[in-house]
Amino acid sequence: MARLWSILVLLAAVTFAASPWFVDGFKGFSADQFPVQVQNPPVQPAGYAFAIWGLIYVWLIAGAVFGAIWRGDDPDWAEMRPPLFASLVVGTVWLPVAVASPLRATLLIWAMLGTALLALFRVGDTDRWWQRAPVAIYAGWLTAASAVAVGVLLGGYGWMAPTPAALVSLALGLGIALVVQYRLHRAPSYGVTVIWALVGVIVANYQPLNIAVAGLAVLGIIAILALRGTDTE
């Protein structure tokens, strides 16, 4: 059964990475998908930050290949595979859903995050670069992306003004990130990935300067770095 899960995770990682090829031109939720059209929501990182998806796709596939070939029956890998598989399967259908419905897509990305975090807490103690690191950066980026999705929804549906929406959603994402990093005490690549997203938020809010959003992102980076000082890979 363990080997079967290793193959399923590999297949899910491949289909997840291939999903952007079947959805042309998606670059995040667009303003015209919402009743209130907010151009460049302050919660959203600068565009360059999304390039991390390439690293995530490649590393997830590489780790899954390594796991399927050399660790197919290894019990140290077994517990994290079912929730990781579930997250990747949901991720495979996320882009088509996002094109049709930002609200449904937000629910799905939170499901992806929940199962990815479960996988991260279940990763074993061996093969940190093949087992732990790809799951950590995947869960780290999903933590940021889930918060961003909430912020975009709050502003896009007119429930909050863009800046308060950004502050609320960033606080939510930071709260999750800090709890995870504190409780995990390993996989600092999770925190590094969240910091990557926060730097993207600072860049996006630098000109014109949104001091509230950029300032919260800076404080978040400082807090994560303080927690990471006691972590070990």
What does the pLDDT look like over 178-232, one tens digit per residue? Answer: 999 999 877 889 999 999 999 999 999 999 999 999 999 999 999 999 986 554 4
Residues 11-19, mean pLDDT to the nearest whole number: 97
What pTM value is reported for the model? 0.96
Q: Are 166 and 149 in contact (CB under 8 A)?
A: no
Nearest to 92 by CA among 103, 102, 84, 101: 84
Distance, first Cα to last Cα, the chain: 29
Confidence at residue 229, expressed as pLDDT on a 0 to 100 scale: 54
d(CA 3, CA 51): 32
Q: What are phi and psi of 95, to 5 degrees?
A: -60, -50
102 or 2, which is more confident: 102
Residue 107 pLDDT > 70, yes or no? yes
